[in-house]
Structure 1
Amino acid sequence: MCHANGQDQRVDRQQRVLTQVQGGHFKLEITFPTEYPFKPPVVSFRTKIYHPNVSNDDKGSMCLGLLRADEWKPPNKVVAVLRLIQTLLIEPNPDDAIEPSIANEYRENRKEFEKNAKDWVKRYAK
């Protein structure tokens, strides 16, 4: 199970927009700590998204193994992180969820999950 990270050492921030399959545009914030590249960047969604691996709170924290301190390696590239995020948007990982109720819905009622995800795209990501 993943947990939101309260890390707030901000030195450099960049924002990117990714497009999801349902046609929504999602803004991401990438914060590079002073120890980068020895510590991972912090990536958060600035656009709300209905997804088991992204928190529903204002922080928009996400669960991505590569961004965990114990898995991050200095040679890792931000472009690889963005590619993994795009993959995660299309193929959620309910076994490493930050939103357990959405993960359960994804596993047990995919049709309802897809409906809710599309509703959130219309509401927040157009």
Structure 2
Amino acid sequence: MQRSVRMKKEVQMLTESPPHGISCWIKDDTLFNLEAQILGGEDTPYAGGVFKLEIQIPDRYPFEPPKVRFVTPIYHPNIDTAGRICLDTLKMPPKGAWKPILNISTVLTSIQLLMAEPNPEDPLMTDISNEFTHNRSLYVQTAREWTNRHAKQKTATEQHGNFEAGDNLRDNVYADGKTVSSRKRSLPMDDVTNIPAKLP
């Protein structure tokens, strides 16, 4: 009961006042499975990218942190190829910094900050961490290439020349690797941050 009440408030807050560059909504009509998108920061190698994440709310939430992983591949010292994230706020004490006063909005904002400011001292990907520390230009180049390949939405005319100009294909990539595309009108990037959540 406490988990449901808490999540209804959190989803409402994310709908009405989402953090800048972040959107989050209910998946499969349940409060305990969420999807989110984070826009890559302008001054980072992830600029122009839309990074999708999935969030699972455990039974003991908020006394236990949510389980969050990237669905969109990202080249980052603290995020591995399975999308797992090395972040203090996603871990229980004493090794982590999760507290019940934190929430999904706080977590997503922390992940957004981690994207902009990697922590090479606590890496999940040692090779990328070493590259970030000792060969920053190569790291930036590779991270940009990954962003262009995996996180940038292509217009319909780029993917299928017979579609009208201005149409857009948005791919929904799920954990099992399947991709479902739906045809949508192109929106300014600012509009991505205001995707409405579906309340039960």
Equivalenced residues, count? 114
Distance 1:48 1:118 in 2: 12
1:78 shift after superposition: 1.4
Tell me which protein shows more strand as a share of its residues. Answer: 2
Distance 1:125 1:40 in 2: 26
Residue 96 of structure 1 aligns with which residue?
122
**What TM-score results when the alignment is normalised by the length of structure 1?**
0.87
Residue 69 of structure 1 aligns with which residue?
92
In the alignment, structure 1 segments of 5+ residues that lack a partner are 1-10
| Structure 1 ranges of 4+ moved more than 2 A | none
Residue 108 of structure 1 aligns with which residue?
134
Whether 1:29 and 2:49 are equivalent positions in the alignment is no
In the alignment, structure 2 segments of 5+ residues that lack a partner are 1-30, 42-46, 153-200
**What TM-score results when the alignment is normalised by the length of structure 2?**
0.55
The one of 21, 42, 50 equivalent to 2:67 is: 42
CA RMSD of aligned residues (A): 1.1
Distance 2:76 2:58 in 1: 26
CA offset digits 1:19-56 (Å, max 9, x no partner): 11321110011111111111100110000000001011
Q: Quick one: which amino acid aligns to residue 77 of structure 1?
A: N
Distance 1:13 1:63 in 2: 20
Q: Quick one: which amino acid aligns to residue 130 of structure 2?
A: N
Q: Which is greater in Rg?
A: 2
| Larger deviation, residues 45-54 vs 65-74 | 65-74
Distance 1:13 1:103 in 2: 31
Distance 1:27 1:50 in 2: 14
Whether 1:15 and 2:41 are equivalent positions in the alignment is no
CA offset digits 1:101-120 (Å, max 9, x no partner): 10000000000000000000
Give matches, 1:68-87, under 5 Å. Answer: 68-70=91-93, 71-87=97-113
SS of corresponding position for 2:74? coil
Q: Percent identical across equivalent pairs?
A: 42
Q: Quick one: which amino acid aligns to residue 83 of structure 1?
A: T
1:94 shift after superposition: 0.6
Distance 1:67 1:84 in 2: 10
